[in-house]
Structure 1
Amino acid sequence: MSVPGPLVQIDRLTKRFAKGELVALDAVTASVSAGEVTGLVGPDGAGKTTLLRLIAGLLVPSTGKITVQGLDPVSDARAVHRIVSYMPQRFGLYEDLSVQENLTLYADLRSVTGADRDDAFERLLRFTGLTDFKKRLAGALSGGMKQKLGLACALIKTPDLLLLDEPSVGVDPISRRELWRMVYDLVEQGIGVVWSTAYLDEAERCARVLLLNEGSLLYAGSPQELTDRVAGRTYQIRHISTDRRKVLSEATKLDGVIDGVIQGSRVRLVLADGAEPPALDLLDAGDQSEMALTPPRFEDAFMDLIGGGFKANSPFAERQGAATHTVDKVVEANALTRRFGDFIAADDISFDVGRGEIFGLIGPNGAGKSTTFKMLCGLLRPSAGSARVVGLDLQNAPSKARGRIGYMAQKFSLYGDLSVRQNLDFFAGVYGLRGQVRKAAIERMIDTFGLSDKLIVNALSLPRGYKQRLALACAVMHDPDVLFLDEPTSGVDPRTRREFWTHINAMVANGVTIMVTTHFLDEAEYCDRIALIYRSRMIASGSPDDLKDRARAHGLEDPTLEDAFIALVEQSDRERETA
C-alpha cells in the first residue's frame, strides 16, 4: 500500500548509543522519494549506517521520528520489513553455502514459495549474471560477484525501498558500473533506492544526496547544485617538470588552497572562496607549468563543505634516509606464473619498480592482482618465474627479503580481539624491534596516525578509517624499504584517503618504494606507473596518462582513468575473440 508524499520522511532524528557519548545522528531532517536513487554520502563515522538501520527498523531512535510509507519502523516493524530490503555493509551471506543455497535461505526467510520462488530465482540469477555460478560457494566468488549475490538476496521479494550500505566497496570499475545499471533498472520500476557511499564520484550518479558529517546533515539536494558552489575555484597545474608530489605538498600548505590531489602528471587544487590561484614560482613547478581552470567535481564541493583536506605535514617527511639501499630495481617480477591445479591465476607477468617509485596494479576482481602481489612479497610461491625485492630472491632468501618489506593486506588482517596498543606491540615484536627502539617506534606510530585515544579499543570494533590507520602503522613501524599496499583505502572517505597519501608521498620522498593495488582509480592517479592485469595477464602498462592516451586513441575525447580501464579491458576481449 502506497501513501502520498515521500517514501521515507525523517523528522529531527537523533540517535545516541550510550549516555554521554557523542551522538551518532543529530536532529536529522530529510526525505527519500520513490523511483530515484538517493545518495547517502559522508566520511567514515558520519552516521550513514546508523541512518539506514533506523529506516529499516533495526535500531530505535533516541528522539525524533521516521516513517516509511506512513509506517513507523519500530511499532509497525512487520509491515515495514515487508516493503523494505536492506543490503548491509558487511557481506551478510553464508560463505560456505552456494549461490543457490543462499538464495534459497533468503527465500525461506522472506516466505517466498512455490512458483513465486522459482520465478524469483530465474529472474534474479539472470538479472545479476550469476546463472552459471549457482553451484559456486559464496566464499569463492569475486568481490563484485559477492555484491551481486547480496543484491539478489535483498531482492528475493521486490521491495518498495532498497537500502544499500556501501555496496561498491572492494568492487572493480566494471562490476561497479554493472551494479549501477542494475540499480537504475530497479528505479525504472518505481523502487526507491538509498545508496550509501564514501566514494564521491558515485554521488554524481544520484538524483539527490544527503551529505552527513559527524552525525549532522550538511546538505540535502541535487549533487549538481552543490558542485556549482565551487565553480571558478578548481584549477589544475599542468606541464609540471619537477616533482609533482612536492608541488602538491607546497600548494596545500598555502592559506588560499583548501584541497589538493594528484591527477596523473597534473595537480588539482580547490581554492577557498575569494582566493587567487597561487603563483607558480612559489611551487617550483617548472618553467613550462601553467595554472588552468578546470570543471568542478562533487568531491571538490564536499571537501569545501567539510573545511578542506588533510593539511598537516607527515612525520615521515622528517625521517631522512628511511631507505638506505642503493639497488636501482627494487622490485622485479620475471615471468611470474601461479597455477592452482588447472587454473592459471597469474600468467607470465614481468615488470620492475625503481627506488622511490609508486607502482600500481589495477584490474577487475579475480584478474590475478592479489596473486601477483602475494608472490612479490613472499606470501605465495610462484609456479614459474621469479620475484626479487631489494636484490634478494624471495625463494632463496625469503626471511631476509621479508625483513625489508612492509605489507598491508586487503582485508583487515590484524588481531581483532587485541587492543590497538597490543597490536602495535605484537607487530613490533614480529619485526624484531627491541628495547628503546621498539618503544620509540610504537610511540611514533601512535602520534603519526592519531591513535592515542583508541589505544585500549579492540581493533575489530574500530571504525574503518581507524582500522586502516592501524594496519598501515603496523606495516611501516620497522622502516621498510618496500611497502606493499593491497587496497589500502577501500571504502575510506576522501579526507582520510588524503591523509594516507600524504604519509605515502613523504615515504616515497625518502626513497621508499611503494607497490599498491586499488579499485579506486582516482587513487591510481598517484602512481608513477600502472600495470593493468586482466584474465591473469598484464595487458597494458605505463603512466596513468599513458593509459588515458591509449583510450583517447580509441575515440574517447577526455577519458578518465576509469574510462581507460574499461576501454582497454574491452579491447582485450575483442582481441581474444578474433584470435
Structure 2
Amino acid sequence: MLRTEPAVNGRSLHKRFVVKASKQVVRALDGVSLDVPAGTLTALVGPDGAGKTTLLRLMAGLMRADEGELRVLGIDVSATPQAVQDRISYMPQRFGLYDDLSVQENLDLYADLHAVSAGQRRERYARLMEMTDLGRFTTRPAGKLSGGMKQKLGLACTLVRSPELLLLDEPTVGVDPLSRRELWQIVQQLVDDEKLSVIVSTAYLDEAERCSHVFVLQEGRLIAQGTPVEIQSHAQGMCFVAAPPKGEPPRLMQARLLDARQDIVDAVPQGGEVHFIRRQGADDAALGQLLAGARAEPVPPRLEDGFMMLLRAHQPAAPNVAPPAVESLAPAEGEPGEVVIEVKDLVRRFGDFVAVASTSFSVRRGEIFGLLGPNGAGKTTTFRMLCGLLPASGGQLRVAGVDLRHARAQARQRIGYVSQKFALYGNLTVRENLSFFGGAYGLRGKKLQERMDTVLRQFDLERELDAPSGQLPGGYRQRLAMATGLLHEPEILFLDEPTSGADPLARREFWRRITALAEGGTTIVITTHFMEEAEYCDRIVIQDAGKVLAIGTPREVRTQALDGEDHEKRIDMEQAFIGIVEKARKEEREKKNEKVAA
C-alpha cells in the first residue's frame, strides 16, 4: 500500500566532522530541511563535498545528526536506527561484493545476512535475475564481471529482501552508457511496479532529470528543490548553442567562453556545437568576439543549466577555472602533427580469451584521443598496453618513438599516467607526494623544486601543501594526481576515467586544463564513460568485444551512427555510442545464429 506520509522527513539537520590533521571543523550538513515523497524517485545533486553522502548515511542510520530531527518511514532514526535498517536497503558507492564468490554465492550471502527465507529467495531471485539479466552468470565469480555487471549484482544483493526505501549513493559511477541505461530501467521498474521509494545521489544531471523531485545541495546547505522542470527554469531564456568556425574544435570555443566569466555562466561542447549559458546583461559585442562570428541559437534549458545557475548564484566569486593553470603551461617539444603513437594489428590474449583483436590506429602530437567502449570492451586492456603496463600478445606498438614490445621502461620516462582510482599516498601531504614521485621520475634538487612550484601554481594547490592528500576533497585529489603525472613534463599524458564521479563544476575545470595542455603540444589519451567528454576529443575510437567499431572525429562517429538517416538530425555522442554498439552486437548475434542454423 502506498504510504501517504513522506518517506523521509528532516528538519534543521546539522552534521560536523573534525579533520584530524588540521583540527578544522567541517560542516557537512548545515541546517538542511527536506520532505521526500513516498513511492517516488528522488535525486540528491551537488558538487563534491556538498553533503549528499552524509545525508544518505544519516537516513540509513549509519550516522547520527549533531542537531535536528530526522524521521525515516515515520521512525526517529536517531532513536531507533535498527528499526529503520530493518525496512530499508542502502547501496553505498563502494558496495561490498566478494570477488572470489560467484554471483549466486554473493546473493545467498546477503540473503543470509538479512534472514530471507527459502521461499522468499526463490521468488525474489527469479525477479532479480530477470531484471538484471544476470541469470546466465550465476556461477561466474564476481571479480570476473564487468563494471556494469558488478553494479547490477550490487543492486541485486541490496534488493534480496523487499525494502520500503532504497538509498543509492552514485550507483552508476564508472559504468558505461549502456549499463547505466539498464540500471536506471531496473530502478524505474521498481518504482513503477512496487511503488518503492528511491533516493539516489548522482553526479550525472541527465540521470536526475528522470526523477520526480530534485534536491540541490552545496557546502552542506540545501539551496534549491523542486521538479526537474522547476530547477531548469532558473536558466530559462539564457541558454544558446553555437557552431565553432570551420576547422576549430568545439573545446576551443568553449575555453574562450569559460574564460569570459563576466558574460558567461557555463559552456560545454555538445553534438559538434557549444552549449552555453549567457549571463543577464552580457555585453553583445564582447560575446560576438568570443563566438568569432558564429550565430547563437536559443535553446530550452536542461536540468544541468539550472543546476549551474544555482551554483554560480550561491557562489558568485568562484572562478570557472584557475587562470594560472592556463597561462603557465610550457609547450611540449616536437613537431606539431607528427605521429607519437602508432598501433598496428595489436592483440592481447589471456589464455584462450582474446581481449583485444587486431586493433590499429595512430595518435598525433597535441591531439586529444579518446578510447571509448562498454565495460569489458577491451579499452582498459588497450590503454594499459599503450602505457607500457601490460605487454602485447601480438602486433606493433610504438609510443613516443619507442617500440613498447622491447623497451617499455624507456617509453615510461616519456609518458605521464593518471589512474582511475586515486593512486597517491593518502597519508603523505601534497608536498611529500610531489617530492616522492618527482624523485621516482629522476628529478632532483633545484630542478625538482622548480617543477613542484610550477605544477602547484598550475593546479592551484599552493594552499594545500601540508594537507594529507587522502583528506583532500575529490576535486583536489584529482588535481594532485594530474600535477604528479605532469611533474617530469611528459610528451604524452594517459588519463584513465579521470572524471569518474566528478560533478559538472569539477569536470569543467578539468577539461579547461586539458585543453590548455593540448594547445601546448602535450598529447592526451583518455578513457571516459561521460559521453559528453568525447566531444572534447579530436578523434575517438569505440571498441566492443575487443574490436574497433568506429574511429574518427566526433562528427564522423555521429555520422556513422546515423547510418544513412537524415544527416541534419542532431544526436549527441551518447546516442551515437549506444547506436553503434547495439548495432554491432545485433550483427554479431545474427552471425552466430546463422552459424548455428548451418
Relative to the length of structure 2, the TM-score reads: 0.92
* 1:107 correspondence with 2:111: yes
Q: 1:222 Cα shift?
A: 0.6
Deviation at 1:571, TM superposition (A): 1.1
Shift of residue 90, structure 1, vs aligned partner: 1.4
Residue aligned with 2:55, SS: helix
Q: C-alpha offsets along residues 242-290 of structure 1, whole Å, 9 cap, x if unaligned?
A: 54444333322331111122235322221112435555652373x6x32
Moved more, 326-335 or 535-544: 326-335
Q: What residue is the counterpart of 1:390 in the other structure?
A: 400
Q: Counterpart in 2 of 1:431? A: 441
Deviation at 1:211, TM superposition (A): 0.5
8 Å Cα contact 2:16-2:27 kept in structure 1: yes
Contact 1:107 1:117 in 2 (8 A): yes
Name the structure 1 match of 2:474.
464
Distance 1:494 1:284 in 2: 22
Residues in 2 aligned to 1:487 and 1:9: alpha-carbon distance in whole angstroms:
36
Q: Which runs of 5+ in 2 are unaligned?
A: 313-317, 592-598
Is the partner of 1:210 in helix, strand or coil?
strand
**Residue 59 of structure 1: how far off its partner (Å):** 0.4
1:23 is paired with a residue whose SS is strand
- Relative to 1, partners in 2 of residues 1:339 and 1:252: Cα closer, same or farther, differing over 3 Å? same
Select the residue among 139, 146, 167 that pairs with 2:143. 139
Aligned-partner residue type, residue 570 of structure 1: E
- 1:270 and 1:481 map into 2 onto residues whose CA distance is 35
The answer to whether 1:123 aligns with 2:108 is no
Cα shift at 1:526? 0.5
1:248 aligned residue: 254
Selected match of 1:529 from 529, 536, 539: 539
Q: C-alpha separation between the residues in 2 aligned to 1:107 and 1:155?
A: 9
CA contact (8 A) 1:449 1:470 kept: yes
Amino acid of the structure 1 residue aligned with 2:274: V
Give yes or no for contact 1:355–1:512 (8 Å, CA) kept in 2.
yes
Matched, 1:155 2:190: no
Percent of residue pairs identical? 48
2:561 equivalent to 1:551: yes
Shift of 1:566: 0.8
Alpha carbons 1:363, 1:532 under 8 Å: kept:
yes
| Pair 1:454–1:103, CA change in 2 (3 A) | farther
> What amino acid sits opposite 1:283 in the alignment?
L
1:525 is paired with a residue whose SS is helix
For 1:369, the equivalent position in structure 2 comes to 379
In structure 2, how many angstroms separate the alpha carbons of the residues matched to 1:447 and 1:138?
43
Cα 1:226/1:309, change in 2 over 3 Å: farther
Q: Which 10-residue stretch deviates more, 208-217 or 113-122?
A: 113-122
Larger deviation, residues 445-454 vs 154-163: 445-454
Asked if residue 420 in structure 1 is aligned to residue 426 in structure 2, the reply is: no
The answer to whether the Cα contact below 8 Å between 1:13 and 1:65 also exists between their aligned partners in 2 is: yes
Q: CA deviation at 1:92?
A: 2.1
Query: 1:251 is aligned with what amino acid?
Result: L
Conserved in 2, the CA contact under 8 Å of 1:319 and 1:510?
yes
Q: Secondary structure at the match of 1:350?
A: strand
Deviation at 1:457, TM superposition (A): 4.0
Residue of structure 1 aligned with 2:72, choices 50, 60, 68? 68
Deviation at 1:169, TM superposition (A): 0.3
Query: 1:421: how far off?
Result: 2.4
Q: Distance in 1 between matches of 2:443 and 2:124?
A: 57
Structure-1 residue corresponding to 2:300: 295
One-letter code of the match for 1:73?
Answer: V
Q: CA 1:281 to 1:24, structure 2 compared with 1: closer, same or farther past 3 Å?
A: closer
Matched, 1:225 2:230: yes
1:327 Cα deviation from its structure 2 partner: 6.9
Q: Sort the Cα spacing of 1:564 and 1:399 in 2 relative to 1 into closer, same or farther, 3 A.
A: same
Map of 1:353-368 to 2, 5 A cutoff? 353-368=363-378
Deviation at 1:461, TM superposition (A): 3.8
Aligned 8 A contact 1:309 1:495 in 2: no
| 1:195 lines up with 2:200 in the alignment | yes
* Distance in 2 of aligned mates of 1:460 and 1:140: 29
Q: Choose which of 236, 241, 266 in structure 2 pairs with 1:259.
A: 266
Q: Distance in 1 between matches of 2:216 and 2:564?
A: 37
Distance 1:554 1:155 in 2: 43
SS in 2 for 1:399: helix
Bigger mean CA deviation after superposition, 317-326 or 255-264: 317-326
Q: How far does residue 40 in structure 1 lie from its aligned partner after superposition?
A: 0.5
Deviation of 1:431 after TM superposition, in Å, equals 1.1
1:3/1:195 Cα in 2 relative to 1: closer, same or farther (>3 Å)?
closer
Post-superposition Cα deviations, 1:30-52, rounded to whole Å, max 9, x if no partner, equal 11112211011011111000000
> What's the CA shift string for 1:141-180, capped at 9, x where partnerless?
2111111111011111111110000001000000000000
Q: Which sits farther off after the overlay, 159-168 or 9-18?
A: 9-18
DSSP 3-state at the match of 1:206? coil
- State how far apart, in whole Å, the 2-side matches of 1:120 and 1:406 are: 48
Shift of 1:381: 0.8
Shift of 1:239: 4.5
Q: CA deviation at 1:438?
A: 0.5
Q: What is the deviation of 1:226?
A: 1.6
CA-CA distance at 1:5 after TM superposition: 1.7
After superposition, the C-alpha distances for 1:332-365 in whole angstroms (9 at most, x for unaligned) are 1111110000001011111111111111011100
Structure-2 separation of matches of 1:548 and 1:246:
20
Q: Tell me how far 1:291 sits from its aligned partner.
A: 1.9
Task: Name the stretch that deviates more: 449-458 or 99-108.
Answer: 449-458
Matches within 5 A, 1:469-548: 469-548=479-558
**TM-score normalised over the length of structure 1:** 0.95
* 1:323 matched to 2:306: no
Q: Distance in 1 between matches of 2:322 and 2:431?
A: 24
The residue aligned with 2:581 is: 569
Q: 1:264, 1:429 → 2: CA distance?
A: 43
Q: 1:269 aligns to what?
A: 276
355-364 vs 97-106, which moves further:
97-106
Measure the CA separation in 1 of the matches of 2:428 and 2:154.
Answer: 30
1:406 aligned to 2:410? no
- Secondary structure of 1:152 counterpart: helix
How big is each residue's C-alpha offset from its partner over 1:417-464, in whole Å with a ceiling of 9 and x where there is no partner?
433322211210111111111112222222332334444444334332
Is 2:12 aligned against 1:5? no
Aligned to 2:219: 214
Q: Which moved more, 1:97-106 or 1:258-267?
A: 258-267
Partners of 2:44 and 2:214 within 8 A in 1:
yes
> Is the contact made by 1:240 and 1:265 (CA closer than 8 Å) also made in structure 2?
no
Gaps of 5+ in 1: none
Partner SS for 1:290: coil
Distance of 2:374 and 2:285 partners within structure 1? 39
Whether contact under 8 Å (1:106, 1:156) holds in the other structure is: yes
DSSP-derived class of the 2:363 partner: strand
2:99 aligned to which of 95, 102, 114: 95
Aligned-residue CA RMSD (Å): 2.0
CA–CA distance in structure 2, aligned partners of residues 281 and 242 of structure 1: 18
Q: 1:456 to 1:97 in 2, by over 3 A?
A: farther
Q: Which secondary structure state, in structure 2, belongs to the residue aligned with residue 17 of structure 1? A: strand
Conserved 8 A contact 2:346-2:395: yes
- Farther-moved stretch of structure 1 (88-97 vs 177-186): 88-97
Counterpart of 2:357?
347
In 2, Cα distance between the equivalents of 1:76 and 1:205?
A: 32
d(CA) in 2 for partners of 1:278, 1:50:
45
